[in-house]
Structure 1
């Protein structure tokens, strides 16, 4: 993903770009259409004139004034509802889902239409003239008609916005949107790197004295451009291994990568300087995590919702179960990709740059660690975590993935034994535990309801 893709991803989560563009277009339209009206004057086709505004200057001013004054009030209401929604999402679900709400295109289009119609109506209003001694009356019929149509469309958009907001604030809608965004990120980051492509991913080992390369700025690592690093590594005859992946927080002045001479020996000072410059140019940091190159961010959002639902103040295990279901689907999708570090090679096939990425074990640990800690005393939440392991175990045949599932199964079983359940609940949980082992052996078990 290049820097322009990262920029587009950042702009998507901002509320101002599309409304600002709409204001500019509305201003241009408000200046251009009255000139078109003046040029056409009385040469409008009769069939078209019948559909246009037919009132005088005072009526035109009344219509445009009513549209402008009402829409600025409606726009204020829309902004207020948006802010309240963001506050509710932050407190009820997770602060990290605010980016999902802010990137909602329906909100952007609504604000753009309302603000654009307001600016357009004011701009056209200045061109309406009454008949005086030194000037003729002028009513831009097309312009006023367009203002009327935009006003009606704005009312319809407001009704649609309210319905959309009521739907989007539901936790199921939030989970579905985060799920879709995370799937898109996986497809973009991993592309055609399927786990069964047969390409070995063996990172290199240092062949000489290593040099630490430090970060130039602090913040969340949002994107890494591999090609500039590869070019610098080839130019200096070095091997570069990054220590952090998108989603990690970097501290300026601390090592973020190591490098060594590909042919042995040591890297000279000029080579190290070149590598540091290339590294700082290849790393993108921001004050918040983004999904641009960070598939774990979507899983983090989903698990945050699950953990918040399990808190004593909320006490909503059903939402936690639903969140774990979405996490299970994403893990099953991730299992089909070749996870782990991305290796960049030179023309001779030697590894020159290693870009770390989370492996399957890390993703599975992210999904289960906190729900296991905070929800293992609830039999339904615990049952869903066992079921998640069974689904993942069935989906993948990778020995590495199965080892990760087995490790999580042992930890989940231990958590089950630390809590008190009645006889029926414990029997159900033990049945699910055995079903995971059967799925690891390649058999889909039939469990009781």
Structure 2
């Protein structure tokens, strides 16, 4: 079991308010463009002050912009007007293209688009240039606009606006090229795969053997169910707050839901075991504390949810197998990504996360996504919709063989054998695949479970 030996006091701990805020900001589209707007305002107010300092002498940038105040106002107005129009049209068309793409594959890919750094930086470049041009425009003075007929042309500021505009044009061209790649299903699968791999590396640690007594609380008597006070997808558990509440109540709390599961108000979400003989915990206070420590959201997020990336890959596979799409090649590609993710899961521990208090007593147990559930997620639906698709059924058999090789000794042999039998039966019932080939599928999977991968003959 993965063990948290002592609960730190900072909010940077897993599930703390600060880490939740950082995760939400990292997954949103607006933070980098908002920083771009702030930078534009700072530059748009600072650089004209430097121009004002040079106004009493020969301006060093006269060669870059030699026009008067009217020309400066026209240039800045043209930059601001064109960029805000380009920004709106570009991202409107982008959203339409992504909606069409998500309807063909899965709507959850829009979440991946919003976290794409190229998209965020392009939007930041465009709104930065627009805001900067608008901010500098207010400082340009013509002779007729001032009482002392002293015109002011911020040549340095206008030169910077021109350079930012050139950068925006370049960013727009690069963005359109990036978008054409982003909308390809192969790129979407790669991005989802990378996202899932990062979550896996972040969340699954090697066991340290310090939690062997984590299940001792189950012998302390009958558990008391704790019901949820609100509904949503469980995205984060504030472990520090949950441990503190369990310590105060003198209990061990074991969650009945995993990160990524749906929580329904009024249904049991955890169980509590009292460590005091004959003790009875205050369930109302514990339920309130758990409700405060749970971060429930209207959708699943990839920050802590190990199964979410695999869910997206399976969604793409199933959509590709639908009669309206009928794209077995995409389904085969998706199953290859699913096989790779399953193999990574098989090589890592799937033990509960155990959190202790300052006295090293177990207080909170968070259940994991176990390997059989992940295999079921990857195979069950594609098998259901692969009827009449020999290429997809062959790839499913190959996935099970690859998984069997990497999951040796993980107590999933019976489940893998049942699935390969089901794949073989579906192939015989709905395709022209020969029975000898399906027998070979069964044999190869069983050999892989036994640690044997014979060389292909012929």
Tell me: CA distance 1:408–1:225, structure 2 relative to 1, closer, same or farther (3 Å): farther
Q: Hey, what does 2:251 align to over in structure 1?
A: 238
Which residue in 1 is equivalent to 2:8?
none
Q: How does 1:205-244 map to 2 (within 5 A)?
A: 205-244=218-257
Tell me if 1:72 matches 2:84: yes
Matched, 1:413 2:424: yes
CA–CA distance in 2 between the matches of 1:265 and 1:410? 50
Could you tell me whether the CA contact under 8 Å between 2:427 and 2:433 is conserved in 1?
no
**Alignment correspondent of 1:119:** 131
Judged with a 3 Å threshold, the aligned counterparts in structure 2 of structure 1 residues 254 and 199 are, in CA distance, closer, same or farther, namely closer
Correspondences of 1:54-73 after superposition (within 5 Å): 54-73=66-85
Task: Kindly indicate whether the alpha-carbon contact (under 8 Å) linking 1:360 and 1:404 is maintained by their aligned counterparts in 2.
Answer: no
For 2:272, what is the secondary structure of its paired residue?
strand
- 3-state DSSP of counterpart to 1:240: strand
Aligned partner of 1:318 in structure 2 is 329
Inter-partner Cα distance in structure 2 for 1:24 and 1:364: 47
CA–CA distance in structure 1, aligned partners of residues 401 and 63 of structure 2 = 65
Task: Return the match for 2:170 from 156, 163, 167.
Answer: 156
TM-score by length of 1: 0.91
Q: CA deviation at 1:97?
A: 1.3
Determine whether 1:101 maps to 2:117.
no
Whole-angstrom distance in 2 between the partners of 1:181 and 1:63 = 43
**Further displaced range: 82-91 or 7-16:** 7-16
Structure with larger RCO (C-alpha < 8 A, sep 6+): 2
Instruction: Tell me whether 1:436 sits opposite 2:445 in the alignment.
Output: yes
SS in 2 for 1:138: coil
Give, in angstroms, the shift of residue 200 of structure 1. 4.8
Q: After the TM superposition, which of the residue ranges 212-221 and 408-417 deviates more from structure 2? A: 408-417
Relative to structure 2, which stretch is displaced further, 81-90 or 413-422?
Answer: 413-422
TM-fit CA distance, 1:150: 0.7
Distance of aligned partners of 1:163 and 1:201 in 2 relative to their CA distance in 1, 3 Å threshold = farther
Structure 1 residues 17-45: Cα deviation after superposition (integer angstroms, max 9, x where no partner): 32223222212221221112102335578
1-structure distance, mates of 2:281, 2:211: 33
Q: Does 1:5 align with 2:19?
A: yes
CA contact (8 A) 1:219 1:250 kept: yes
Residue 336 (structure 1) shift: 1.5
CA distance in 2, matches of 1:8, 1:98: 20
SS at match of 1:328: helix
**TM-score (normalizing by structure 2):** 0.90
Tell me the C-alpha RMSD between the 2 structures.
2.3
Q: Distance in 2 between matches of 1:112 and 1:161?
A: 12
Alignment map for 1:10-409 (pairs within 5 Å): 10-42=24-56, 46=60, 49=61, 52-132=64-144, 134-193=148-207, 200=212, 203=215, 204-269=217-282, 272-345=283-356, 351-409=362-420
Deviation of 1:329 (Å): 0.6
**Alignment length, in residue pairs?**
441
Summarize deviations over 1:96-131 as a string: whole Å, max 9, x none. Answer: 111001111111111111112112111111211223
Q: Give the 3 Å change call, closer, same or farther, for CA 193–186 of structure 1 in structure 2.
A: farther
Q: Secondary structure at the match of 1:221?
A: strand
**TM superposition shift of 1:387:** 0.8
Which secondary structure does the structure 1 equivalent of 2:254 belong to? strand
Change (3 A) 1:156 1:414: same
CA 1:399–1:72 in structure 2 vs 1: closer, same or farther (change >3 Å)? closer
CA offsets 1:378-399 (integer angstroms, 9 cap, x no match): 1111111111111111123324
Contact 1:431–1:447 at 8 Å: present in 2 too?
no
Gapped runs of 5+ residues in structure 2? Answer: 1-13
Q: Tell me the secondary structure at the aligned position of residue 71 of structure 1.
A: helix
Change (3 A) 1:159 1:260: same
